[in-house]
Chain A
Amino acid sequence: MLPAALFLAAFVAWPLLQFVVNSFFRYNPIAGGPHTFVGFDNYVRALTSAGFSNSVVRTIAYTAIVVTLEFVLGLTVALLFSGLGDRSRFFRTVFLYPLMIAPIVAGLLWRFLLIDNSGIVNQLLFDAHLTSSPNQIQWLSDPNIALFSVALPDIWLTTSFISLVLFAGLQNVPGEIIEAARIDGARYPTLLFRIILPLLRPVIAVALIVRGVDAARAFDVIVVQTNGGPQNSTNVLSLLVYNTQIANGNPGLASAMGTIYLFALMVIAVIAVLTIWRPGSDN
């Protein structure tokens, strides 16, 4: 345990601490110059800037879009899998592949699929007579829908994760309970909402926590699709912190933003973990 603990201390805890310490200073690594201790000044600037609060809202919206759609799709697929039993094995295998693909590849691929004028998605929608022209929907350049569009590769990549996890959970639902409910005349919706979903609660909780935290940290898929644009409409927190740090050369402010972001993530995650899931209690 000690070597791993030391490693995590050196490569996670120590940089983390440094990051937090940085948030109390103002300096510019490119132009040089001294580190000036500014107290909570960076925090005040972060919290009062519109850019930061807008990013917070976008991050929450992005996470909500990703997690909701993934869950609905993932559950549908998992129920289809278990409805078909063992014969769905081939499809379950197909569902593994997106999980192997690098997010950067998925991001670029979807940009290619959605791109104005020559994107295949718009062309297919047009061919299916769902839209009146092949460039009616400006997926990535309309600020009103760009946040939704950049979420697509994320959803594409990891819906399968939710499906497979929920499917595994469904395998553990005792058959007698379902059987008994059926004999009592329960129809499928009742069965789903009254029995299956409550029994799956721990599995659902963990899947949602894991995916929620990951979605809130999304970086690569968004960077390669829009790099935060158009008009900042996809500038989520991870991008804002990165750009403040590297492009704008203001690590102090970036660290303050990052610290708030990190702290919020941790608090939410720890509350979620402790209340819904209780680690270790099942061992």
Chain B
Amino acid sequence: MNGLESRRGSTRAILWTALTVLVVLYAFPFVYMLFTSFKTPIETNAIPPTILPSTWTIQNYITALTTQGVPQSFVNSIQTAVISTVVSLVLAVPAAYAVTRYRTRLGRVFILLALVMRMVPAIVVGAPLIAFFHSLGLSDTSFALALAQTTISLPLSIWLLASFFEAVPDELEESARVDGCSRLGSLWRIVIPITRGGLAVAAIFAFLASWNDFIFALLLTSVRAVTTPLQIANFQSQFGLDWGTMTSLAVLYSVPVIVLAIVLQRHIVAGLTLGAVKG
């Protein structure tokens, strides 16, 4: 403990109250969305609005899932996110390894440039990519979308992995090489197994970047490769303000990542703090 923890019971009670109030306020929008997704259409638009549904129904979920294009968009989202995660890791692992192990000036410049690239607005990269993928015959494919989204996750992946690789002592690898292991061999047999947690972190963040992306999907897909965020956004223009269906689709889309968060929370916190404190 670092001396910041309060020791007096009365102060602690005030802190608990403050934190509870904040957390309830914080959770309210999401909880309200969850309740709305179980309301009947009449109740969703009722004035004044109610918090709890008076009759619970799963009709909104049925409507959402039977709307044309929605099941396919889920398949597309998963496919795109998986491709993007794999590409991101395959490129980031050797890059991060090279940067941490060879410590050249070039490596420093590279990692700084990668960081700068993270700051490029998606619209700037996305607009020329439309023509680029078109010329490759990849328009409106999950693969093209995944590559575009990798531009978001790759710099962060490199940065995170470099931090984790940094923590692996050189001696371990040296002794492996004395035993006849090649550079690549020691990366594969020593560094990767030790930093499994780090790889998990980089994978989660790459997956999230793709899963939550909207702008690249908006620019680069039209029919075949459309992802669920686009479908969610479509609900408001297509059906006016059909909040019941919209919220149920939003809940469905959030469930997988919330499950991921519960299962992997330790890794996510590590990634966040590393990602921010170091890059």
Q: Which residues of A come within 8 Å of B, CB atoms?
A: 1, 3-5, 7-8, 11-16, 18-19, 22, 76-77, 79-85, 88, 91-105, 108-110, 112-113, 115, 117-120, 123, 126, 134, 156, 159-161, 164-165, 168-179, 182, 196, 202-203, 206-207, 210, 213, 217, 219-220, 223-224, 238, 241-242, 245-246, 251, 254-255, 258-259, 261-262, 265-266, 269-270, 273, 279-280, 282-283
Beyond known contacts A3-B94, A15-B124, A91-B19: 20 more, CB 8 A cutoff: A4-B94, A4-B95, A8-B151, A19-B127, A76-B22, A85-B1, A95-B23, A99-B261, A109-B29, A109-B250, A112-B33, A112-B36, A126-B48, A156-B29, A176-B3, A238-B123, A245-B127, A251-B127, A265-B119, A269-B116
Q: Across the interface, do B26 and A156 meet the contact criterion of CB distance under 8 Å? A: yes
Residues of B contacting A266 with CB < 8 Å? 116, 119
Complex partner residue of B110 from A5, A109, A210, CB under 8 angstroms: A5
Which B residues, 93 to 127, have Cβ-Cβ distances below 8 Å to chain A?
A: 94-95, 98-99, 107-108, 110-117, 119-127
Per a CB cutoff under 8 Å, which of B115, B128, B151, B247 touches A273? B115
For residue B162, which residue of chain A has the nearest CB? A283
12 contacts between A and B (CB under 8 A): A94-B26, A96-B261, A100-B257, A105-B253, A118-B49, A156-B26, A159-B26, A164-B273, A172-B2, A182-B3, A241-B123, A279-B115
Instruction: Check if A224 sits within 8 Å of B233, measured CB to CB.
Output: yes
Chain B residue contacts of A95, Cβ below 8 A: 23, 26
Q: Which of B58-66, B179-187, B207-215 contacts A (4 or more CB under 8 A)?
A: B207-215
In the assembled complex, the CB of B211 is this many whole angstroms from the nearest CB of chain A, namely: 7
Q: Are A84 and B95 in contact (CB under 8 A)?
A: no
Kindly report which residue of chain B lies nearest to residue A8, judged by CB atoms. Answer: B117
Q: How many A-B residue pairs have CB under 8 A?
A: 273
The residue from A1, A173, A206, A254 contacting B98, defined by CB atoms under 8 A apart: A1
> Do A83 and B115 contact each other (CB < 8 Å), given the known contacts A91-B19, A210-B276, A245-B127?
no
Assess the A22–B128 pair: CB atoms within 8 A: yes
A15 engages B125 (CB within 8 Å): yes
A227 to chain B, nearest CB (A): 10
Binds A, one of B10-18, B68-76, B170-178, B194-202: B10-18
Q: Does B246 sit within 8 A of A, measured CB to CB?
A: yes
Bound-state Cα–Cα, A105 to B230, Å = 10
Q: Is the CB of B229 within 8 A of A100?
A: no
C-alpha spacing A217/B152, complex, angstroms: 13
B104: nearest chain-A partner, CB-CB: A1
Binary interface profile of B, 133-171, with partner A (CB < 8 Å = 1, else 0)? 000000000000001101100110010000000100000
- Closest B residue by C-beta to A282: B278
